[in-house]
Structure 1
Amino acid sequence: MNDNEKIILIADDIELNRAIIAEIFNKNYRIIEVENGRKVLDAIAVHGRAIKMVLLDIIMPEMDGYEVLQAMAGNGWLKQIPVIIITSDSSEKVALRCYNLGVSDMVKKPFNPEIVRRRVENVIELYAHKFDLETMIKKQITTMEEQEARLNQANSFVIDALSTVIEFRSGESGQHIQRMRGLTRYLTNNLVHLYPEYDMEPAMVEAVASAATMHDIGKIAIPDSVLLKPGKLTDKEFEVMKTHTIRGCEILETLDYTQDEDYFKLCYEICRYHHERWDGKGYPEGLREDEIPIWAQIVSLADVYDALTSERVYKPPYSHEQAVTMILNGECGVFNPKLIACFKECVNHIRDNLDENTEKTAGEGLVPYRPSSHVKPLRLTDIEEMDTISERVMWLLEVEQEKYRVLSEMSGEIIFDYNLLSDRIEFSEKASDIFDMDTQIEHFIKRIQESGFIEQEQFKELIDSIKKITPEQPFFRQELRLKLKDSSYEWYELYANAIFDSDMGRCISILGKITNIHERKKRSDLLYQQANTDPLTGLFNRNALNKHIYAVLADPVLKNAAVMIIDLDNFKAVNDNFGHLYGDGVLKEISREIRERVRETDIIGRIGGDEFVVFMENYGDESVLEKRAEAFCRALRKRYEEDDVECAISGSIGIACFPRDGKTYDELLVKADQALYYIKKEHKNDYAFYRDEIRQTHFHSVLSEVDA
């Protein structure tokens, strides 16, 4: 095995997926492709640490991604080789399971190739840096062990501690340790000078500075998936990270060291309490003020300053001035006021001397992490500037495109792909045969609005549906009337699925299909009409009338409403003299007369032979109802003549109002029926409102005749 060889192992059962990923990395890495989990393990067994990254799919034959991760963990390979999952499943359940199994990162399909390249290179560099640190620490320990006879007890303790730490996979750098020692020394000396109550001999100051290097020893016990994560930690991950204070103390307690209990106490208390804060808002115990050992307070402030002014994988360094301002403004937590005063006194001295000392000793310790100099800032146009993909990928894409075309033609459906970023849509070839349009349309929104391809109201609904899609709800359906080549319209069902850029969090494309449902829609409309309309007049039948009026009356914002029952006077004579067929024609004519005198929001229906109902909501005042009733009465005065036989008909109307006369449709219908009976008994071809005095009179219900 060539130690200098750099391999990326790609595991996916779909060749096109492997080819596209390989194209991203083949210039800088040797690529090994496998189609199942079993071959992943075989490749690692052969190539070992030459594999710098495993890009792993979850769903694969023989052995899936989860089983691969479990096997790698069992063999200790996950500690040496990072794994990034590339999957289309972004659920929290899947992510949590993968991270618990030890993956370094997850990438959701579809992905931006340039972002994937950066994330992979970052993780590879982190692992390489970690490996270098471990190697350097082992070398340091060997050197320290060789000089053991000449080291004092404190150095001997550090050697034992570092020997234990290496088993927990240390990740700190030499310069960080050096800076922490120098910062702690300066702060402690200045604190003793300004505040004599902190009585420390020079040896004690050096002991505190030496013990400060042990403050983060517990991070060795933190899982790599948390410790080496490049981005922001989740709340759960941060809780894991916070345990490094306790874990560090557990490591110290395992050491067989009893020769200098005072030094051990310093190390222990610094390790445990360096994240406590003056106001009690720190961890792990929430100590406050002087409950926190003073050396832990000093190391805490030194650690915050060094973290701010140092480069991290998740942030660039702040300037010295920015760091000082943030600490003094309380942006990094509350510190001991005396310690802050001390910090102000020596802060410039710290800056000047620490930089000088770091330059002198940089070569003596571990090399801190630095991103590769060739990695340039990411731009959104990078993907557009990438080199042309290889012939293999192009061939595979052409094969997939041909499959896509054949399947769409066989299904009889029209497939489309709408790019939201460029406002460009592409249809399958069938679209050009049915609609008067090209298969590829630029400026889609404008072109569709101008062409009348979709009716305006439905187009607005479509745009609203697109605006409402989210990664959690990426699907929607809509029925549309679309314009055909002959300018007629037919019903189609659109089924769409949005594709989101997992890195940017925005919708980039909508894929879908358009299916002709015109005949199904006609049958559905016919069934609806048969179930809800009167076959003779086309008005609502009694069941549909009830349903619609019940719905309106249930609306809490309804102000008022009226139910009018219209009954034809002397209609029986028409049927008796001219026949029922002639009478049907009269009923159709009457229904047209009623339709012409109602608003679009009014509900009308036929509830019996010659009985009609008109329901008016939010009519204003009673004068409006009077004018409407008078108009109906005038329109219904008809005279018919056939073979010297003459018949005259008219209309009588009973009216009940909501909420005065009742709050339910049943109550209003009964009272309108009483008013109708009253006016027919008094004089026909007129109208009457329900009044209390009408209730006292005996009446014969028109509705009872209908129901019978």
Structure 2
Amino acid sequence: MSNHRAKYKILIADDTEMNRELLAEMLEDEFDIIEVENGAQVISVLQEHVAELSLVLLDIVMPEMDGFEVLAYMNRYHWIDDVPVIMISSETSPSYIDRAYEFGATDYISRPFDAAVVHRRVSNTIMLYAKQRKLTDMVAEQIHEKEKSNNLMVTILSHIVEFRNGESGLHVLHISTLTELLLKHLVQKTDRYHLKKSDIALIGTASALHDIGKISIPDEILNKPGRLTAEEFEVMKGHSVIGASMLAELPFYQKEPLVKTAYEICRWHHERYDGGGYPDHLKGEEIPISAQIVALADVYDALTSERCYKKAFSHDVALQMILDGQCGAFSPLLLECLSELGEVIRKELQNNSLSQRTKEEMQTMTKELLQQEELVASERVLRLLECERTKFQFLANACEEIVFTYMNTPPILSMTEFSARQLGLAETVIDPLKNVPERGELHEEIVDRLLTRVKRATPKDPMVQLDCKMMIGGSLKLCRCVCQTMWTETEEPEYMGLIGRIFDIHEEYERVQEGREAAVSYAMTASLSKEYERGYFTLNKAEVKELVRNLSFVFDMVRFVDAEINEQYVVDDNGELHKEPYQCYALWKKVKHCEDCISAKVFARKNKVTKFEFVGEDIYHVIAMYVEIEGKPFSLEMVSKLTDETLISAYGKKDLVESISSHNKKLYIDPVTGIYNRRYYEDQLKGLACVDAVAMLDVDHFKLINDSHGHQVGDIALRLITKTILSCVRSSDATVRFGGDEFIVAFRSIPREIFEAKLELIRERVSKLVMEEYSELGFSVSIGGAYGPAEMPTMVERADALLYEAKTVRDSVRIG
């Protein structure tokens, strides 16, 4: 047998190659060495090899992340608890040394190095941590053995009772399994009982003692094959009090949670929610939740198990008997849990075994042992191996493509050298979601869209896909990113990260585009091409049939809309139009006609119009054209759902938003003055339920300017007056050209005195306006101001009445 001992592994982190070589030469005979040149690489190595490392020799001044930042990361993810760090630096300032120790460094060695000193300090530190780990393992083993012994004694005692009772050895196991299932489901439904995982495990263990009082019941009663007499039943009922008394009379451990919980279960697991149980006739929540749960589990197992006095009922029959109240009253909430867990319970009790139970208990004890659920090295190794298996399976199907991994804790993006070169990134990016400059061409839009999909992934559906444009090898390419999310194989899976690959789909997309363009060209036959360019069609039934058939290759939906009555029609194989049973706006999940109805515009203008329609997270592009089918007018709507291929890049959505903003600008902005128009008031302001103040302004004698100097001069005057009004109000106030020479200003959160002062300022400044080329023209405004708060229509009505008063004298302000 070989006496060869595996070498301890040391990570040396220094940005100077000579320093790394010196340290490696001193230590390589006795230790395995890993070398890195910056802090980011330290984090990457720790993430992959923390369970294998025995020591880190860490420089302070390094690129990307310095030594103190590395120590901060090691503290955040508790690596410092398992891997000691010795600082190696030429910095001898006490502030540096003190800071290193505050961050958890074990030792501090100053340059220049002394080989003997370095070797001795490294060996001492590794030996010290090895002894600490051994001591920790010994304590953990002792705790584990103690817990195992306690559970063993509980199991033995409960099986003694079962043996006397003639029951199978699975009764205790079933009760414990049912108890934990019901409790776990209960805490998901309500936070009323404040139960932790350790509480659930404790109640599950204590449930095994629910019938220990039966040890004092005579055999002839306990195992009687027939129905018990009233006197015998009274004796049998005494087992709950006897069991509780046995626990209450223990000379030690009265304050132990296990004893307290077992007492509750023993005494009250035959109580019922309506007070009809025994021995104390407790009612409702007077019964401890531990006893309520065990009572329900006990009844279910009694029904589904064969006894000396009865045959076993099926799962479904037992469930129905309990829900019907044939076995006494239980908490409605617990009955809901039982009903919802029906199939789970059936499978669990079929598959349950003592070995599986022991495995679960060991997992629970391990979690309880680790403070704040921190993972010991062995568990971390298992998780890392779990990740590596997933990576291997995924990458087996990949060839020369960009491959990357992202680990959630700590947040690190890693990739191969080839992948990093193609994307223009570092091989390791620390915290890529926050470290935007290091993401290179992974624009925020791409990252956000990918994150949205990742958040929807589940252990059962772990795959994620995203199409986007990004810089690959220095050129912009259409790519597909396919990822597999990774999860822990625990009872409640936790997201660990993902592994992904990126590949070029430019050719695939070009084929789709070519096919789409060909279909459009085919749809627009020679006889219709000119009409398409003109913006409207006149069609007969045969042409309608052919047109719709061809357009269906291009668009997701083609329909005809009668905008006057909001009805939509589809075309059958004979070219006949058939009315649909729902209104046209139902497609957009609306309950009334669209305020910005594209088909209404088509009817009014008799041309082609486009718009974007938003339905939840989906965006649709709609093209509408005016058509006449055998003399009857319709709007032909061609609808396309925008997918990731359509919103093709980080710039695609930006362009879309700009397009929509431009559309809204045309819709709501007055072309002469550049402020909001009457339509904006009707659509956006009129429905406001609370407005602090509203002013209506009218330019005095404005008609004379138009009549004497023409509308062009009148427009210049309006722009000048508008600019003056805007200079007197806030950017948060809404200024609207209400019509002609009339304006409305809606004020939010404004004191009355400031409101009055602003209106007077507007009047004063307008009266002093001078048009350089038309100096003979004078200007004035009449203003009516209503101070609320009140609904917008009410405020406008009041302001209009006050404006009427002001216009009787001109160049004046009336406020009320």
TM-score, length-normalised on structure 1?
A: 0.40
Name which one, 1 or 2, has greater alpha-carbon Rg.
1
